[in-house]
Amino acid sequence: MKTINFTVNGRNYKLDVKDNEILLDVLREKLHFTGAKEGCGEGECGACTVIMDGKAVTSCIILAVEADGSDIETIEGQSVGEEISDIQEAFIEENAIQCGFCTPGMVMSTKALLDRNPDPSDEDIDIALSGNICRCTGYYSIRNAVKRAAEKKGGSQS
Amino acid sequence: MTEEMIGKSVKRIKALEKVTGNAKFVHDIEIQGMLHAKMKLSPHAHAKIVNIDTTKAKSLPGVWAVLTGKELPYKVGLYLVDKDILAVNKVRYQGEPVAAVAAETKEIAEKAVELIEVEYKKLDAVLDVQKAVEEDAPLVHENLGELESAPVFFPKPGTNIAHHTKIRKGDTEKGFAKADHIIENEFTLPMVDHTAMETHTSIAEWKPGRKVKIWTSAQSPFAVRNLLANGLHLNHEDIEVIVPYVGGGFGGKAGIHFEPLVTCLSRAADGRPVKIVMSREEEFNSVPVRQGLYSRLKTGVNDDGEIVAQETEFLWDSGANADYGVNVTRAAATAGVGPYEIKNVKLDSKTVYTNKIFGTAYRGFGHLEILWAIERQMDLVAKEIGISPYDIRMKNGLDVGSVTITGEHIGESHGRVKECLREVAKEIDFENRDSDDLPEGKKRGKGVATLHKAPAMPTNTGTAAFLKFNENGTLNLTVSLTDYGQGTYTALAQIVADQLDMPVDKVNVVWENNTETEPYDWQTVASKGLFMSGNAVIKASQDMAQQLKEVASEPLRCSVEDLVIEDEKVKVRHHLDKYISFKELAMGYTYENGNAIGGPLVARGNYIAQGLTNLDPETGQGLPALDWTYGAHGVEVIVDEDTGEFEVVKIASAFDVGKAINKENVIGQIQGGVIQGYGSAVMEGYQFSEDGRLLTNTFTDYKVPSIADIPELKPIIVENAQEDGPYGARGVAEHPMLSIPSVIGNAVQDAIGVKIKEMPVIPEKIFELIEANK
Amino acid sequence: MLNKFEYYKPESLEKIFDILENKEGETALLAGGTDLFVDMKHKTRKPDTIIDIKNIEDFSEIEERDQELFIGAAITCNEIIESELVNKDYKILADSALEVAAHQVRNRATVVGNLCTTSPGADMFPGLLVLKTKVVIVSKEENRQVPLEQFATGVKQNVLKDNEIVKGLLVKKHVADGKGVYLKKRRTKGPDLSGVGVAGYISEEEEYLAFALGAVAPTPVYLDLSEIFFGEGNFTDKQEKILKEVKENINPIDDVRSTKKYRIKMSQVYTRRILSRLWKAGDK
Ligand code: FES
Ligand code: FES
């Protein structure tokens, strides 16, 4: 057991975790942030993507103890009350959601991308999102959603 | 209302819940007191179970139940009841569950599974369909003759053949005798995984009185209920099946999967709820797949391109169970020469057992597989006789007046395959395949391919819909067809909105499916959802309209015939300013003096497949198809002549959808389907070791397309209305992925002449062919 | 599920050495964990102790020291991709790092970790090999530097002893005209392990030409071809000789990612392509 301190979506947590607990499991099962999903458990699908200290990471292959002192953002922190983020709005508008299982991970990868690069090219989008598998949409609408979100944020003048 | 509702791109229902992470999948559900299940899997492809020792596992603190096949004398299955819940006496594939544990935590469950000791005696395994049909092949199911099956399937005792569909039309001997050319080829493709992003997950809670409540990631709540009732000898009314959000299905969550196991575990654990979640590795190893296929096609063709005879053999690699596979074999056979009219046909389609993970439904239901052979053969034939792949398809394609291989007459209300073909050929500029602009060693190729598919389902498949008013005049629509991403619910809401002339956001489609409260639906498969539920929803809406008018006719003092529905109101036809709003009628109409009439309004509609017949077992003649959706793809590739590396530059895909009720969602289906087909075409496929171990059991080894892989795609919607479809619509959920492998194979052949016959189409194989041609 | 283990995150190298010395059973070092935890989930590794090295200060450094680039053991692949230093004079490393897994994973996966897992196809090997890299290995008893081409000893095996730990890498700085290319065969344009990975590097001023290949032998293959290339003869002959060298020094297998035959083919093709990108045939 170790005691860890971290913030999730701006809220402070102090928590006892076992050494071998995975961050994704702690987020989902202890803190009930079930938005992040487990699609593979091995860093290969991106469904568990959260943002840790500003960077998109696959939380299924990170120990909870490694998150000590970090600042974590999950899909649950992307909307405030009835207000959803530009990225979320863009995903809806572009019909980039089918079953929705990959969606939280996609949105978090998109957020990390736009935070560091407000006007991404197709190639930038491919690099940032190719670790997020979607089996439903064929990705076309997702790419459009990322671009639309960038426009909403004022990144692209086109 | 001024706005046109049908054909509009209404925003998808539940998008907000999904995009905020609020949508709860079974993965996310916890029930108080819930235990966690874990399975012990067979390491062998075929072995006798000599002994299972569970004593250590049982004595581990925190373990509530340990089960083996011995305690579960049940068989489960949809069409051919051949599945054990846990292996009994022997294992038939690597990855087959032999024992299972329910424990307080996942750790304890995992530990307990490690403590179970199983002693095996290895048996000879059969991994190849052609070997499996040989006389002395090891038998996968020795007791095939004793298994129960639906009356339209014919297992052959003493063999590995679980079913054989025969189709006979005309006289192939005469046809071949007259043909100018006879061309024969063999084609193969491997098993493929659905890889829905949510793995299979189920929770069961056993209750006193032999009742059970189930939460499951399934496509078809009523199929789960029915098969569970039959398999475990329970009463239907004692089973409650709940399906919340489902993270993709693609056929992989049709039928029944781990629900019987968790039910038995919960029963053994004194009614504690038990949850099972497949790890991705288990999903690859132990959850059914799309079957592999070996095809042999012999085509008799005249100089002018007319195909006069076709002899076809399909051997389906069904793996260790064929409960669903038999129907894939049957359904695909009915479409077995593609969307062409051929006068003389002899077709044999056999479901063959092997010692591998077993087959089930997968988007396209056998059609991607047969179209790999049919549409590749078409190009090989065209090349041999020296005519254009486009012309040979136009020459033989189905037209109004054509007769299909099962004897169905193509009429005015059918879709038009040739129109789809024309559209895609135009879009990719098919005749122009100049390579001059390319660097040395690169060649441009173009290909076309057609496709067709009808829903595969029992002749008496039915569905129903309920509508009820809310106090504020909005409606709740309930169907047990599930929406696990297709967007069907959005289209159904549009239909209600159109029928009752109200805004679509006032139609609330009840999301969570529950067999207790919802009307029956057979299964959410086969692209029949919109067609059948759409028709049921139209009927329910009409029923509601009628009831609204009946109540309103009294206070409005006119006959029902004189009333119209407009703008959420019942109006007097000739005095449109005289009306009563839905809201005033919803819970019963109240007069000023307090008198009330009517009552809360509830309506229903149902639909059953019309006029379908079982096929004649010897000739395959009959009517198997509710509606055929036709389509075509055109593809441009650039191939490296030396290495076989290739790039798919563009795909154009056209489908005759009859009527697009929600354009945006139709395009979403096309994009998703094409890319899934693209995965099958160029990267996916199970690979086994020589002793039958699955080698591709992670996303590291089994690749699916990523966002970086997608080629330019042009979706084309063709609309020739289907007379009996809702607003003329046909299903199009599966079709986009059909013929994608063939069209890419065709384009590669066009570019550099290699005759590729094995899927997936990968540079390694193209290179082998280049070398062989040298 | 991960097996039970004890987790330490020491702040000094000495502490790490202490733990390494005193702990029974298997000890694993953790940087990104992107290989370790996957192996543990597959039960192919079951360490009793895990030592997180991310708190050791100079492990997170990336800086030029004399004529060498130091890459600390905790430097991630994405840090390499984003590093100005790397992009200026060691571009091939950024290109190679971009081939490692997916973006999210690269935010954790370290360059040194990629080497320490020592998979035959590890993407960081070829680029680092052609640049000439030394592995800085430390232990309580001694510090040593091992040339990277001697680091791997077999599939997932290397020269590291139980009490040793890699502190970082020293990559040789070549003169400004040097350039390198890394080409990789993959099944998808998304993340994939290497089917064949070939790196080539040339510095005309130094008269240095080297190739390195991954996923075509149990350990990555390094070939210093300077003598052939800068010796007598015309370009075509030299190219043939180089291709022959490559062919003779690899020994690929069939697996789910590719076939032996195709690996041989593509290692030739990539070598030729790289050569033509590094050297315009008419130049000399
Ligand atoms: S669940 Fe973490 S990457 Fe798949
Ligand atoms: S929407 Fe289903 S996996 Fe992406």
CATH of the domain at A19: 3.10.20.30
Q: How many CB atoms lie within 10 A of CB B385?
A: 15
CA-closest residue to ligand 1 atom 3: A43
Pick B279's closest partner by Cβ from A41, A74, A104: A41
Q: Looking at residue A116, which CATH number applies to its domain?
A: 1.10.150.120
Alpha carbon distance A77, A64 (integer Å):
19
Closest chain B residue to the Cα of A47, Cα to Cα = B197
Cβ–Cβ of C1/B707 closer than 8 Å? no
- Report CA-CA distances (Å) from A42 to A48, A127, B557, C254: 10, 19, 69, 24
Q: Mean pLDDT for each consecutive 10-residue tract of chain B (774 residues)?
A: 69 92 97 98 98 98 98 92 96 98 97 98 97 96 91 93 96 97 98 98 97 96 94 97 95 95 98 98 97 98 98 98 93 95 97 98 95 98 97 96 92 91 97 90 97 86 94 95 83 94 95 92 74 91 97 95 96 95 96 95 92 89 87 98 97 94 89 97 98 96 98 96 85 92 98 97 98 91
Give yes or no: residues A38 and A96 share one domain. no
Mutate to test the interface with C, among B107, B191, B284, B643 (most CBs of C within 10 A): B643
Chain B residues with CB under 8 Å of a chain C CB are 106-107, 110, 281, 642-643, 683, 687, 695-696, 700-701, 703-709, 762-764, 767-768
Number of independent structural domains in chain A: 2
Residue A138 to chain B, least CA–CA distance (Å)? 4
Walk me through the domains of chain B, giving residue ranges and CATH numbers.
15-21+461-608 (3.30.365.10), 31-123+197-248+253-286 (3.90.1170.50), 292-457+613-773 (3.30.365.10)
Radius of gyration of chain C (CA): 19
Chain B contact for A130 (CB, 8 A cutoff): yes
Q: Is A28 domain-assigned?
A: yes
| Nearest ligand (C-alpha, residue A41) | 1
Cβ–Cβ of A58/C105 closer than 8 Å? yes
Chain C residues with CB under 8 Å of a chain A CB are 1-7, 9, 30, 33-34, 37-38, 41, 50, 52, 54, 78, 98, 101-105, 107-108, 189-191
Q: List all residues 6 or more positions away from B406 whose beta carbon is below 8 Å from its beta carbon.
A: B167, B334, B615, B620, B621, B622, B623, B624, B625
% residues pLDDT > 90 (chain A): 95
Short-list C185, C186, C154, C148, CA closest to C170 = C148
DSSP state of A66: G
pLDDT, one tens digit for every residue, chain C (284 residues) = 899 999 999 999 999 999 999 988 999 999 999 999 999 999 999 999 999 999 998 899 999 998 999 999 999 999 999 999 999 999 999 999 999 999 999 999 999 999 999 999 999 999 999 999 999 999 999 999 999 999 999 999 999 999 999 999 999 998 888 999 999 999 999 999 999 999 999 999 999 999 999 999 999 999 999 999 999 999 999 999 999 999 999 999 999 999 999 999 999 999 999 999 998 754 54
Give yes or no: residues A9 and A73 share one domain. yes
pLDDT at B1: 43
Give yes or no: residues A7 and A74 share one domain. yes
Give yes or no: residues A94 and A117 share one domain. yes
| Nearest ligand (C-alpha, residue B279) | 1
Residue A25 beta carbon below 6 angstroms from any ligand 1 atom: no
Alpha carbon distance A95, B667 (integer Å):
10
Pick C188's closest partner by Cβ from B695, B696, B703: B703
Give CATH for domain C179-279: 3.30.390.50
Cβ–Cβ of A109/C104 closer than 8 Å? yes
Closest chain B residue to the Cα of A78, Cα to Cα = B20
Write the single-letter amino acid at C236.
T
Alpha carbon distance B348, B365 (integer Å):
17
Q: Are the C-beta atoms of residues B363 and B676 closer than 8 Å to each other?
A: yes
Residues of A within 8 A of B105 (CB-CB) are none
pLDDT at B151: 85
Residue A62 to chain C, least CA–CA distance (Å)? 7
Q: Is A157 domain-assigned?
A: no
Closest chain A residue to the Cα of C9, Cα to Cα = A66
- CA A82, A86, A91: angle at the middle one, nearest 5? 95
Cβ–Cβ of A133/B706 closer than 8 Å? yes
Beta bridge partners of B181: B301
The range of the structural domain enclosing residue A71 comes to 2-78
Q: Give the torsion through C-alpha atoms of B436, B441, B444, B449, to 10 deg.
A: 160
Residues of C within 8 A of A63 (CB-CB) are 7, 30, 33, 37
Cβ–Cβ of A43/C105 closer than 8 Å? yes
Task: Compute the distance from residue B424 Cα to the ligand 2 centre, in Å.
Answer: 27
- Report CA-CA distances (Å) from B474 to B14, B502, B503, B581: 17, 9, 9, 11
pLDDT at B103: 98
Q: Is A137 domain-assigned?
A: yes
pLDDT at C59: 95
Give yes or no: residues A104 and A148 share one domain. yes
Q: Is A135 domain-assigned?
A: yes
Give yes or no: residues A70 and A90 share one domain. no
- CA C50, C54, C57: angle at the middle one, nearest 5? 135
Q: Which of A20, A46, A78 is the last residue of a domain?
A: A78
- Report CA-CA distances (Å) from C114 to C73, C111, C258: 10, 5, 21
Give yes or no: residues A90 and A130 share one domain. yes
Residues of C within 8 A of B762 (CB-CB) are 187
Task: Name the residue with higher pLDDT: B527 or A134.
Answer: A134
Task: Compute the distance from residue C236 Cα to the ligand 1 centre, in Å.
Answer: 48
Closest chain B residue to the Cα of A20, Cα to Cα = B107
Alpha carbon distance B487, B14 (integer Å):
10
Q: Is A158 domain-assigned?
A: no
Q: Is A14 domain-assigned?
A: yes
Give yes or no: residues A69 and A97 share one domain. no
At A66-109, the pLDDT tens digits run 999 999 999 999 999 889 999 999 999 999 999 999 999 999 99
At B749-761, the pLDDT tens digits run 999 999 999 999 9
| Strand-by-strand arrangement of the B475-478 sheet | B507-509, B475-478, B462-469, B602-608
Per the structure block, which two tokens stand in for B406?
A: 């099962």
Residues of C within 8 A of B701 (CB-CB) are 256-257
Alpha carbon distance C113, C34 (integer Å):
9
Alpha carbon distance B659, A27 (integer Å):
45
